[in-house]
Structure 1
Amino acid sequence: MQVSKAMSRDVRIASPDQSLCDVARIMADCDVGSVPVGEGDRLVGMITDRDIAVRAVALGKSPETKVREVMTSDIKYCFEDEEISHVVQNIGDFQLHRLPVLNREKRLVGILALADIAATEGPRAAGEAVSGILSGAHQGSSARH
């Protein structure tokens, strides 16, 4: 099945010039831990609750700090015409819970979440992605010690 059949098209997008406080409210309203950051019609980053905690709060930055100062610019994404079975492996490798979905013109068209994979491909496919995320997290934590 293609990503376009499973993804959510209802995506809130943050601006790089919005404050962290604004984006935290978006996350709370949507009950998500990450929001794509767009400028014009292009995806320029992702902002996560972890970015806010580690790159802002832990460093004493203000809630009025601009998203561009703490967002992740190295964006991992998939294309809407890719097969979900291929994307499942990438989600695990990238250790992501939500992946922006682009069309071939590289315009944001949706978000693919683990819940979307579970709903369309079943719990086994979602479990494969989670397994990749967890094994990467364990590798990362042991590498830091």
Structure 2
Amino acid sequence: MRVRDVMTAQVVTGRPTDPVQQIARIMSEIDSGVVPVCEGDKVVGLVTDRDIVLRVVAEGRELGTPVAEIMTEGVQTCRDDDDVASAAEQMARLQMRRLVVLDGNDKLAGILSLGDIAGEDRSKHVGRVLEEISDPGDERR
């Protein structure tokens, strides 16, 4: 099975200049803890609800702070035509709960999360990824 068959394809994005509060509002409206940040067709970062808590709330920053100042850069990706098992292995190796999915033209195609994989009854992949993510030696949990 391919990543495109299980990924979340309807993804709302933000821009680097968007204020953090706007991204938080988007997360609330779409019931998601992650928003990719794009410049045109290129994904330049990712903002999670955890980023907002740790890099805005905990540091006492203003809600009008541009999301570019708090987003995670160096986004990990996979391709929409990758095998789900290989994407799950990548997630385990990188200790990540989600990957940005790109199409053949390097444009955002969706997001692959552990929930997407679990929803397709591939529990052995999810179990292995969760085990790797939960390794106490890593702070990215």
Q: One fold, TM greater than 0.5? A: yes
Indicate the residue corresponding to 1:129 in structure 2. Answer: 129
Cα displacement (A) at 1:27:
1.3
Q: CA RMSD in A?
A: 1.3
Matched, 1:3 2:3: yes
Aligned-partner residue type, residue 7 of structure 2: M
Task: Find the aligned partners of 1:114 and 1:8 in 2 and give their Cα distance.
Answer: 11
Larger helix share, 1 or 2: 1
Q: How does 1:46-61 map to 2 (within 5 A)?
A: 46-61=46-61
Count of residues paired in the alignment: 139
Q: Identity of aligned pairs, percent?
A: 36
Residue 112 of structure 1: SS of its match in structure 2?
Answer: strand
Cα displacement (A) at 1:28:
1.5
Cα displacement (A) at 1:45:
0.5
Cα displacement (A) at 1:121:
4.4
Is contact 1:34–1:98 with CA below 8 Å preserved after alignment? Answer: no
- Pairing partner for 1:139 from 128, 137, 140: 137
Indicate the residue corresponding to 2:98 in structure 1. Answer: 98
Unaligned runs of 5+ in 1: none
Q: How does 1:1-145 map to 2 (within 5 A)?
A: 1-135=1-135, 138-140=136-138
Residue 140 of structure 1: SS of its match in structure 2?
Answer: coil
Unaligned runs of 5+ in 2: none
Distance 1:96 1:30, change over 3 A: farther
TM-score, length-scaled by structure 2: 0.92
Task: Find the aligned partners of 1:129 and 1:18 in 2 and give their Cα distance.
Answer: 32
Deviations 1:3-25 (A, max 9, x none): 01111111111111111111111
Is contact 1:36–1:43 with CA below 8 Å preserved after alignment? Answer: yes
Cα displacement (A) at 1:122:
2.1
Residue 43 of structure 1: SS of its match in structure 2?
Answer: strand
Task: Find the aligned partners of 1:54 and 1:95 in 2 and give their Cα distance.
Answer: 19
